[in-house]
Structure 1
Amino acid sequence: MATISRGVLLNLAVLALLSTLALADSDSDRAAELFALQSRSKSGVIHLDDHSVSRFLTSTTTPRSYSLLVFFDAAQLHDKSELHLQDLRKEFSLLASSFIANNAENPSSRSKLFFCDLEFKESQSTFGQFGVNSLPHIRLVGPEVKSLKDSEQMDQGDISRMAESMSAFIESRTRLHVGPITRPPLLSKMQIMIIFTLILIWVPFAAKKVLAGETLLHDKKVWLISAVFVYFFSVAGTMHNIIRKMPMFLVDRNDPSKLVFFYQGSGMQLGAEGFAVGFLYTIVGLLLAFMTHLLVRVRNVNVQRLIMGSALLVCFWAVKKVVQLDNWKTGYGIHGFWPSS
């Protein structure tokens, strides 16, 4: 009986060892498959669907030898400029390609993290398993994660601050080194050579014009128009719109056939709002410049008074509109007062 017991125990140990090796081989096979899919992708981002998510995540045992950083996308929402899905997808691709390039000589690190994306129409079931109900959305599925809903979501702040903040998120959660983000140059070598050649051809003609005083920089009208443009650019909040990538208008949620040009609320400003207020400010500035520089040259006093009175009425109307818009948008009132005697 003792001999039989030892044999049974030996068989059980062998079976346990074989099962462990089988699981290890299965995990390594999946990692190798992910590595092959990554190599075939130009940006290093692996496109997943419901079947591949089951293959690499839900049907596996934990712990896995790899982590997946998943970008959730929806092609039907690419026209929603306020979501910036296409721009964020490009940043995600830059993040993936930079990680691969910076760890080219360290295959062990490359095989521990893979960058993937999911498209809503192709993977609605997986979206539900993750519990994703809004975009943009990025999840990190670690080796120990069993339920997809338990995976770690990247904060909206990390997503909106582009690839560099995404890199910091990865390094803080996975202890892997992403390295510097490598962005493609704005111009190719051929384009730079063409531009340089054109500049060399243009320099002698430009020098001749400068010495003769016949360039646009010598024209007062150009400086006047440029000054007005800079003034409008400043008071219209254009720099804010560029930095925040604010849309010119929104589509009314209640009636998609209508467009919203003015958004009520101090937390957001549309491009059309800035241009409207900038236009009113520019009118006031131009009228004041006209009255102080050109109107004083008119010799007829009655004409001066008539034009000045009309200009002041227009200025009063423009400032009143700006005050009304500010009060409607923010809820803060601006009240004028007359000094007492």
Structure 2
Amino acid sequence: MAAVSAVALLLLLSAAAVAVADPGADRAAELLSLQSRSKSGVIHLDDHAVSRFLTSTKTPRSYSLLIFFDATQLHDKSELHLPELRREFSLVAASFAANSAENPSAQSRLFFCDLEFKESQSSFAQFGVNSLPHIRLVGPEVKSLKDSEQMDQGDFSRMAESMAEFIESRTGLRVGPITRPPMFSKTQIGIVVVLVLIWLPFAAKKVLAGETLLHDKKVWLISAVFVYFFSVAGTMHNIIRKMPMFLVDRNDPSKLVFFYQGSGMQLGAEGFAVGFLYTIVGLLLAMMTHLLVRVRNVNVQRGIMFSALLLCFWAVKKVVFLDNWKTGYGIHGFWPNSWN
């Protein structure tokens, strides 16, 4: 018994020595425990937790906290995209945990957390957060919470990918590929396959009889215009990069920004506006070359053509103006020397 008591005493002394040598080790272990109990891998913080893990700890800490600031009462404001951004934040947390499973030291160096406004108003004030969406990285050396690094709101447009890039550039830790859940479950796919198999015989009968929409010239015409608009509006770029239609003005949250000045990013509204102008020009040119030539009255032809050319000139001028405003590059016309 004496030998056992001596061994237990030595273990307690060793644990105490480790805690004294690294006072942040117990907090990192506590964060790991909280993370393991969270389904999404995101730790929910409040004012007390912020004090325990950040403001009351000595620097440098052995860990960093990436904090997503949330406000439940603003979830109904679609322009803020808070629920969607919160899901993307959880995807980054889950992907980081999965990709660093073989590297426990990396997992204990970065923790994903969230703060809710009603529960943690004091912490919001300490960070100086007055607008959402908002993400902060509190590094090991940060003493004042206001000195923590803020993720640029313009980067939220690329969702999880931009969050991962922000983490990797600031911490040196690799997040890895973002693992997204499948769009459809196996049950849903099975139901769709069964419905398609049932529908195929009826579809084949319609195709052989020539009674489908694919045999309608108007459908092909509308589809061609749609594809043209889809192409010139940069819609594929918006889908791939998950660009929002608009942003909230950082200086005035009650205002929306539809046109972003700068060549580094294009909002969805910008692409649709320019695509609409291009489509106007394309439809007018098609009308003049295919329909207007069938009008027998020459005066009517000239009047419509003159009006269409003026409208085309206005649309192209508007596109050139927007391009110059956004990128700073000018477009100049070159006239023959004899015209000068």
Tell me, in whole angstroms, the C-alpha distance in 1 between the residues paired with 2:172 and 2:259. Answer: 43
Contact 1:323 1:334 in 2 (8 A): no
Instruction: Supply the distance in 2 between the matched residues of 1:279 and 1:168 (Cα, whole angstroms).
Output: 33
The counterpart of 1:225, out of the listed 215, 222, 227, is: 222
User: Is the Cα–Cα contact under 8 Å of residues 50 and 125 in structure 1 kept in the other structure?
Assistant: yes
Secondary structure of 2:206's partner?
helix
> Aligned equivalents of 1:40 and 1:290: distance in 2?
64
Looking at structure 2, the residues matched to 150 and 190 of structure 1 have their Cα atoms a distance apart, in angstroms, of 49
Deviation digits for residues 97-128 of structure 1 (CA, Å, limit 9, x no counterpart)? 12223344655543333210123444343234
Equivalent pair of 1:141/1:148 in contact (CA under 8 Å):
yes
TM-score normalized with structure 2 length: 0.72
Percentage identity across paired residues of the two chains: 68
Aligned residues: 320
Partner of 1:247: 245
Distance 2:272 2:149 in 1: 41
Q: What is the letter of the counterpart of residue 48 of structure 1?
A: L
Do the aligned residues in 2 keep the contact of 1:94 with 1:182 (CA within 8 Å)? yes
The answer to whether 1:139 aligns with 2:136 is: yes
Q: Is 2:304 the counterpart of 1:311?
A: yes
**Aligned equivalent of 1:285, options 282, 286, 298:** 282
Secondary structure in 2 matching 1:194: helix
Among residues 198, 201, 206, which one is paired with 2:198 in the alignment?
201
Asked whether the equivalents of residues 95 and 166 of structure 1 are also in contact (C-alpha less than 8 Å), the reply is: yes
Kept after mapping to 1: 8 A contact 2:34/2:43: yes
**1:259-292 deviation digits (Å, cap 9, x = unpaired):** 8797595768765665555445444433433343
* Equivalent residue in structure 2 for 1:97, among 74, 94, 97: 94
Question: 2: distance between equivalents of 1:107 and 1:241?
Answer: 37
**Residues 157, 242 of structure 2: 8 Å contact kept:** no
Residue number among 36, 41, 44 corresponding to 2:38 in the alignment: 41
Pairwise CA RMSD = 4.3
Equivalences for residues 103-182 of structure 1 within 5 A: 103-104=100-101, 107-132=104-129, 135-154=132-151, 160-171=157-168, 174=171, 176-182=173-179
Can you give the 5+ residue segments of structure 2 that lack an aligned partner in the other structure? 1-12
Unaligned runs of 5+ residues in structure 1 are 1-15
* Kept in 2: contact 1:283–1:315 (CA 8 A): no
Q: Does 1:190 align with 2:183?
A: no
Could you tell me how far 1:67 is from its partner in structure 2?
A: 2.7
Letter of the structure 2 residue corresponding to residue 58 of structure 1 = T
Equivalent pair of 2:157/2:244 in contact (CA under 8 Å): no
C-alpha contact 2:131 2:253 (8 A) present in aligned 1: no
Q: Which residue of 2 aligns with 1:9?
A: none
